[in-house]
Chain A
Amino acid sequence: MDLNYSPEQLMLKESAARFLSEVSSFEFRRQIIASEAGMDEEVWRGFAELGWLALPFAEENGGLGCGPVEISLLMEEMGKALVTEPFLASVVLAGGLLERVGSAEQRERVLTPLIAGMSRPALAHMERETGSDLGCIATQAVRDGNGYRLYGRKALVLGGASSDTFLVTARLDNEIALFLLPAGAEGLARKTVRLVDGSRACDLMLDSVRVDEQDLVSARGGVLPEIEAAYDRATAALAADAVGCMDALLAATITYTKQRVQFGQPLANFQALQHRMAEMAVKCEEARASALLATLSVDAPRTIRIRAVSGAKAKVGRASRHVAQEAIQLHGAMGYSEEMPVGSWFRRLYAFENSFGSTAEHLARYGAIVRDPAVLAGGLLREPEAY
């Protein structure tokens, strides 16, 4: 066990905080969110220059070979800075999945331009009907000569509004297969969807979209377990983003109540409010611990991973709701308005709660696992996996 951040990790956190505070002020975010794209290409290039887009990928794929801890540190800062560029969608989710299931040629084709900041892939898996069962998709792949044709619809493709490459899942001979598609493919229609946190996703319609054999991403044993693992990695990363938002809300509330004077004294003098903020701080710490557990378990065997990730999704979900509501309440009407960033973090946390499965869905997934007495009784430290 080692629970210390390395000096390199601390440096990453610091430089992320510095860079993001420079390029992502609240005023700037407000403009970006109101713009058509909902993201800023300049900021994305900045991510590339700082090496963030290379962070989680293996060195043999041109990456920096970092792990989930580095990702979570970055995500925390991105939450604080209200970043709407699709780092999570393109790098963690789509890039992370392709690195694990793609052929050498496909990794070269997708990851190299992604790392260079020239391309943003997005995973198009979920459909409107897909609930907590990730295998529930209806999009079909039909063989067509030496390739395939895809038919179906995908809902809420994260990062999909500005992506140039889609990783699309479809049923092929009763298995779920993954295909690589350029965004401009014939028969592929994209509709941009504005999300509650100000970022953009898209809905996709696939009407006889032709893909070649080389665009079938092979995965021995079916690609679904890898998709599940990719969503879990993304969920853990998003939990860190949420913790960043919670910290930001607590800090903003403390600053505000110290400076806002009513009844001849700062609001922070009132014990009734001091306890409310102390309770927020308790929730923040609980959420941070839970998110860290998820971060340190994303590469563990499935049961352990689910316990940590779904547990964190539910835990951070509930804690973040409390903190977000309290932050608004303690800011009074100011918090309920768009005059201050409080409402933006509130909305981002609302998006968190409803991304990659709701609190209730994750509780059910977690509950099914801790019902096993051995899992429930087991502590957090585990033997290293035999490779």
Chain B
Amino acid sequence: MDLLLTQEEIAFRDEVRAFLEAELDHDLRRAERLNPSFVAYPEVGRKWQAKVAKKGWAAPAWPKEHGGPGWTLAQRYIFDQECERAGEPNFRGASIKMIAPVLMRYGTEEQKRFYLPRILSGEDLWAQGYSEPGSGSDLASLKTKAMRDGDHYVVNGSKIWSTLAHHSTRMFALVRTSDTGKKQEGITFLLIDLSLPGISIRPIRSICGTHEFNQVFFDDVRVPVADRVGEEGQGWEIAKYLLEFERGGSFAGGALRALHSRLLKLASEPLPDGRRMIDDPVFAVRFAEIATDIDANDMLELTAMSKVQAGGNPGSVPSSTMKILRSRIRQAIAELAASILGRDALRWEEHRPLHELPEEPEIEEERKVASALYFNSRSQSIFGGSNEIQLEIIARTLLR
């Protein structure tokens, strides 16, 4: 065992760095710095994703046969660390990281041929249609109905908390096709074109002041049967397979390290009263503790993912473990960063996106976004299945 880079990997790292140097311009970096969320602002993310796609790097974890770069794990790690350190507006969300691996595993040839290239090119942006007003943690209790009518399903019901649905072209959704038997067995996985008649979207604002998620209503929406993934009733198996990717399918370590590096910068700057937080022993201990968490998390991500072939699934306990650790670390960093603000934490900028405001020195902008980042970080232990549910999954396996 060792952690050494090969000559090729060093060359690859340098190529990534050169690419970032050339393509990740000031405006993109600044927009990302002022983004309180875990997902880039769509118009910013789209711009960046187009550049990455042009280079052939749109989907780091995809195998070559589907248009991915077919990278080794070391290359994926390097790419993640370099991009995040440079401050990229990461836009590899539900499309690239969730629905794509599902299509690769469960999709028909036709579905793969049609949908995967549109994801790579950015033509399609996907929203996740799992949660419903009455079904969050108990996802399998979902009620959105799909009735078969010839070559179509007629969908009625509503999905909630759908991130970026208002910017998306499509949604993958879990729907109920049967009310008999176990509740898991009546679930089917559908691909829904969000421009279909009968779909309406209600925006919902989060406590960090951003409109990011939505409620989506379906009123007699006709979805072609050809847009079903897997068999009728196979939805639950597919849903769980997808969740492994959502929770632990790709590296989060680079983003955490980048956030912590930003925190170091913030803490090294003199405060209005002349002190520097990094000189404060209590702060310094907390800062170092979090750094050990990040190192351990990187190592854990590497070991867990080294067991997975490119395109393969991480497994439920490892992905739940990763989800818990990542969310906690992100929350800890955001909390510590906000603690630096002092009285300025009272100031609240309402305008979104923040990067539309006149540019200020970098440190001022870091201070401006820190409270919102802290508020946003509270969502980390809720989305993708709450941390309580991750603990349930781990406990059930442990105590089986």
Digitize A224-266: 1 where CB-to-B-CB distance is under 8 Å, 0 elsewhere.
0000000000000000000000000000000000000111100
Contacts of B138 in A (CB 8 A): 262-264
Is B273 a contact of A130 with CB atoms below 8 Å?
Answer: yes
Is A131 a contact of B273 with CB atoms below 8 Å?
Answer: yes
Is B382 a contact of A262 with CB atoms below 8 Å?
Answer: no
Digitize A288-319: 1 where CB-to-B-CB distance is under 8 Å, 0 elsewhere.
00000000000000000000000000000000
Q: Residue B371 at the A interface, CB < 8 A?
A: yes
Is A338 a contact of B205 with CB atoms below 8 Å?
Answer: yes
Is A355 a contact of B205 with CB atoms below 8 Å?
Answer: no
Shortest distance in angstroms between A32's beta carbon and chain B's nearest beta carbon?
A: 14
Is B382 a contact of A332 with CB atoms below 8 Å?
Answer: yes
Chain A, Cβ-Cβ closest to B282: A360
Q: Residue B360 at the A interface, CB < 8 A?
A: no
Q: List A344-359 residues whose CB lies under 8 Å from chain B.
A: 346-347, 350-351, 353-355, 358
CA distance A201 to B345 in the complex (A): 13
Is B382 a contact of A336 with CB atoms below 8 Å?
Answer: yes
CA distance A132 to B342 in the complex (A): 10
CA distance A329 to B137 in the complex (A): 12
Known: A262-B138, A262-B141, A332-B382. A156 touches B343 (CB 8 A): yes
Chain B interface bracket (under 10, 10 to 19, 20 to 34, 35 or more): 35 or more
Shortest distance in angstroms between B390's beta carbon and chain A's nearest beta carbon?
A: 12
Q: Residue B271 at the A interface, CB < 8 A?
A: yes
Is A329 a contact of B378 with CB atoms below 8 Å?
Answer: yes
Is A354 a contact of B137 with CB atoms below 8 Å?
Answer: no
Contacts of B206 in A (CB 8 A): 336-338, 343
Q: Residue B350 at the A interface, CB < 8 A?
A: yes
Q: Residue A380 at the B interface, CB < 8 A?
A: no
Shortest distance in angstroms between A198's beta carbon and chain B's nearest beta carbon?
A: 8
Among A21-29, A76-84, A174-182, A189-197, the one that faces the other chain is A189-197
Is B342 a contact of A329 with CB atoms below 8 Å?
Answer: no
Chain B, Cβ-Cβ closest to A336: B379
Q: List A112-140 residues whose CB lies under 8 Å from chain B.
A: 126, 128-133, 136
Digitize A186-216: 1 where CB-to-B-CB distance is under 8 Å, 0 elsewhere.
0000000111110001000000000000000
Q: Residue A325 at the B interface, CB < 8 A?
A: yes
Is B141 a contact of A156 with CB atoms below 8 Å?
Answer: no
Q: Residue B272 at the A interface, CB < 8 A?
A: yes
Digitize B144-162: 1 where CB-to-A-CB distance is under 8 Å, 0 elsewhere.
0000000000000000110
Contact among B341, B375, B386 with A354 in the assembled complex (CB-CB below 8 Å): B341
Interface SS, A side = mixed
Q: Residue A280 at the B interface, CB < 8 A?
A: no
Digitize B114-133: 1 where CB-to-A-CB distance is under 8 Å, 0 elsewhere.
00000000000000000100
Q: Residue A3 at the B interface, CB < 8 A?
A: no
Chain A interface bracket (under 10, 10 to 19, 20 to 34, 35 or more): 35 or more
Is A332 a contact of B136 with CB atoms below 8 Å?
Answer: yes
Q: Residue B55 at the A interface, CB < 8 A?
A: no
Is A347 a contact of B207 with CB atoms below 8 Å?
Answer: yes
Q: List B354-394 residues whose CB lies under 8 Å from chain A.
A: 371, 374-375, 378-379, 381-383, 386-388, 391
Is A194 a contact of B141 with CB atoms below 8 Å?
Answer: no
CA distance A155 to B347 in the complex (A): 10
CA distance A262 to B385 in the complex (A): 13
Shortest distance in angstroms between A152's beta carbon and chain B's nearest beta carbon?
A: 14
CA distance A332 to B341 in the complex (A): 27
Q: Residue A93 at the B interface, CB < 8 A?
A: no
Shortest distance in angstroms between B375's beta carbon and chain A's nearest beta carbon?
A: 7
Contact among A133, A325, A333, A346 with B383 in the assembled complex (CB-CB below 8 Å): A333
Is B346 a contact of A355 with CB atoms below 8 Å?
Answer: yes
Chain B, Cβ-Cβ closest to A133: B273
Is A350 a contact of B350 with CB atoms below 8 Å?
Answer: no
Contacts of B204 in A (CB 8 A): 337-339
Is A129 a contact of B347 with CB atoms below 8 Å?
Answer: no
Chain B, Cβ-Cβ closest to A276: B388
Q: Residue A272 at the B interface, CB < 8 A?
A: yes
Contacts of A193 in B (CB 8 A): 346-347
Known: A196-B371, A272-B388, A338-B204. A136 touches B273 (CB 8 A): yes
Is B350 a contact of A329 with CB atoms below 8 Å?
Answer: no
Digitize A346-387: 1 where CB-to-B-CB distance is under 8 Å, 0 elsewhere.
110011011100101100000000000000000000000000
CA distance A123 to B319 in the complex (A): 53
Q: Residue B79 at the A interface, CB < 8 A?
A: no
Q: Residue A328 at the B interface, CB < 8 A?
A: yes
Is A351 a contact of B346 with CB atoms below 8 Å?
Answer: yes
Shortest distance in angstroms between A249's beta carbon and chain B's nearest beta carbon?
A: 13
Q: Residue B275 at the A interface, CB < 8 A?
A: yes
Q: Residue B348 at the A interface, CB < 8 A?
A: yes
CA distance A274 to B9 in the complex (A): 51
Is A355 a contact of B136 with CB atoms below 8 Å?
Answer: no
Shortest distance in angstroms between B218's beta carbon and chain A's nearest beta carbon?
A: 19
Shortest distance in angstroms between B161's beta carbon and chain A's nearest beta carbon?
A: 5
CA distance A375 to B118 in the complex (A): 71
Shortest distance in angstroms between A161's beta carbon and chain B's nearest beta carbon?
A: 13
Contacts of B161 in A (CB 8 A): 333, 337
Contact among A195, A325, A358 with B342 in the assembled complex (CB-CB below 8 Å): A358
Q: Residue B62 at the A interface, CB < 8 A?
A: no
Further pairs besides A329-B381, A336-B206: 4, Cβ < 8 Å:
A156-B346, A195-B347, A262-B136, A350-B345
Give 23 CB contacts A-B under 8 Å.
A128-B272, A131-B275, A194-B347, A262-B138, A262-B141, A328-B382, A329-B382, A329-B386, A329-B388, A333-B379, A335-B382, A336-B206, A336-B382, A337-B205, A343-B206, A343-B375, A346-B207, A346-B378, A350-B374, A351-B346, A354-B342, A354-B346, A360-B282
Q: Which A residues contact B (CB, under 8 angstroms)?
A: 126, 128-133, 136, 155-156, 193-197, 201, 261-264, 272-273, 325, 328-329, 332-333, 335-339, 343, 346-347, 350-351, 353-355, 358, 360-361
Top 8 A-B pairs ranked by shortest CB distance?
A131-B273, A343-B207, A354-B345, A262-B138, A196-B348, A338-B205, A263-B138, A333-B161
